[in-house]
Amino acid sequence: MGECCVAANVCDDLLNSRIAGQRLSMTNVWDEMKRTHYIYPMQKLYAVLMFVVLISCILFSCTWENMQGGVTAAPTTYVPLSYYPVYPGSWWLYEVNDTTTEQVEVSATYLPHRYINAPANLSGIQTYSDTAYVPFLNGQPIYGYNKINWVSPPFGNYYVQWPILSEQVGFEFERDWTDKRFGDFSEKVKVTSKYFNETDSIITLEGHWVYGPNVSKKSYQTFGKNIGLITEYIVDTLNMDTIYKKTLLNYFVNH
């Protein structure tokens, strides 16, 4: 039994020499074990096992180094886009309904964010998006022209990226994800134009509802290039009253 312990020490010494940077081959291992005279008939089986373990350690070490090299990529950073320039440190000040003001701000830096991106499987295990660095507008993560929307039970319990706007004229989307089992209360939005007003490049969005208490209402938004949201209105088309009004007073885009 003492001979087996010494044989194990020989393997350890050889492994340590490999760790110290010496190149190790199977021939080196076998020659060293023969030189020390620990390969006796009663110990051959133990020696072979030690040999297999040592080689496995060498192979595993190489595999682990390769694995480490494959997971060192940096997370994606979502840099803001032209018509929604929510760069860290930026802010916008709005007048709302001619009576109050509202200021929206972006986080001081890009922050790490990930989200549950699919329903849990039968074992209850949930999957997540890759971690990304994104700006947070009033505490909400922004992915370019997308925000994060929750898909609620019974359809799931996860999150998806959802459009805020688009530069493509004619692009249509719903303002938010909604549960339509009891009626389609969602606002339908369309990019209606993109033009230059002699000062700025402008995108306009129009929204409407097809069911529920808002069917007589329409919404209108304008976004300026390198500015962001400029105006937002909601109008009751039955009496043409403006029931919501938001206009830009001042802003700072930190870019």
Would you list the domain boundaries of the chain? 2-69, 76-252
**76-252: which CATH architecture?**
Beta Barrel (2.40)
Q: Would you say residue 196 has pLDDT above 70?
A: yes
- Give 39 or 245, the one with higher predicted confidence: 245
180 is written with which tokens?
């339509």
Digit-coded pLDDT (tens) for 25-73 = 545 544 554 554 444 444 555 555 566 545 554 444 433 333 333 334 7
Full strand arrangement of the beta sheet holding 201-209: 100-105, 91-96, 241-252, 228-236, 217-224, 201-209, 187-196, 172-174
Rg value, the chain, Cα: 32
- Give 195 or 52, the one with higher predicted confidence: 195
pTM: 0.71
Digit-coded pLDDT (tens) for 91-135 = 999 999 999 999 999 999 999 999 999 999 888 899 999 999 999
Contacts with 158 (C-beta within 8 Å, 6 or more apart), sequence order = 115, 116, 117, 118, 119, 126, 150, 151
Output the CA torsion sign for 98, 101, 102, 103. Answer: positive
